[in-house]
Amino acid sequence: IIKTITETGTASRIVFEILESEGIENYDEVTQFITQVKALGAKIAIDDFGTGYSNFENILKLNVDYIKIDGSLIRELSGNRRHHIIVETIIDFAQKIDAKTIAEFVSDELIYDTIKEMGVDYSQGYFTGKPTAL
């Protein structure tokens, strides 16, 4: 991977996503890879954050650029006060570590307006654009 992005000069256009719900067995190897690709200009995102056993310490170790807030939290945002609190906490944490937030599964204007008001940086979902054929 490093050879390819070095040869092609594409690192600044690449975001590597690491699934938060998947266990990382060797943080030293992952951290070394992240350090190398970030030095080349690539970015790192944690996907599905808020599922599984979210570990804030591990996020700090990985030095991520983006935290993608899992859609299961976003979908229930307007009707579930506890989900609202969790999303607020993730946004606050991300801002404090200088990471951007991405809300997954933004399906309607109410959710979009809510996350925008909360301070989420980016959104993805059917409200902003449905998948299209190439």
pTM exceeding the 0.75 threshold for the entire prediction: yes
**Number of Cα atoms under 13 Å in the Cβ half of residue 6:** 6
Tokens standing for 109?
Answer: 């204007």
Q: Which domain holds residue 110?
A: 2-123
In a domain, 22, yes or no: yes
Q: At 94, which CATH number?
A: 3.20.20.450
| Phi, psi (deg, nearest 5) at residue 55 | -125, 105
Walk along the chain (134 residues) and give the pLDDT tens digit of each residue.
999 999 999 999 999 998 865 667 777 888 899 999 999 999 999 888 876 656 777 788 889 999 999 999 999 898 899 999 999 999 999 999 999 999 999 999 999 999 999 999 999 999 988 878 87
Is 96 in a helix, a strand, or coil? helix
